[in-house]
Amino acid sequence: MEDSFGGMVVVVVFALVVGLVFGVIGCVTQQVYYVGAAPEIEQLRHDLGTVTAQRSEDAVGQATQWNQVIARKKRWNRVPFINLWIPDGWEAVKTIQIPE
């Protein structure tokens, strides 16, 4: 009976360690994505003001995609427990204004 309990403890501890490792990896991955996305978003804001008519369709498409990412990250940041993995910095990121 004690061997069975000891084996169960090992399995539970192993599962907790694996869960913790994956949680840390998830947090780091999201943080790296956020840090990399911030300059891309700012560059796109700048580019939208200076692009030619020929390239504006591409820039608007990129802005639309980033606006979707920003909205998705903000939404996930309001979900309990999931918000632990999503950097809070997304809340301060404003959507990209698309020129008319």
Q: Are 73 and 90 in contact (CB under 8 A)?
A: yes
Residue 46 lies in a domain: yes
Residue 16 lies in a domain: no
List the structure tokens of 81: 């427990």
pLDDT of residue 71: 93
Residue 10 lies in a domain: no
At residue 52 the predicted structure's pLDDT band, cuts being 50, 70 and 90, is low
Q: How many whole angstroms separate alpha carbon 50 and alpha carbon 55?
A: 10
What is the domain extent for residue 85? 26-100
Q: How many whole angstroms separate alpha carbon 26 and alpha carbon 33?
A: 11
How many structural domains does the chain have?
A: 1
Beta strand extents in the chain (DSSP E only): none
Residue 6 lies in a domain: no
Residue 4 lies in a domain: no
Residue 15 lies in a domain: no
The whole-chain average pLDDT of the chain stands at: 83
Residue 10 pLDDT more than 60? Answer: yes
- Above pLDDT 70, what percent of the chain? 92
Residue 51 lies in a domain: yes
Q: Is the pTM of this model over 0.85?
A: no
Residue 68 pLDDT more than 60? Answer: yes
Residue 66 lies in a domain: yes
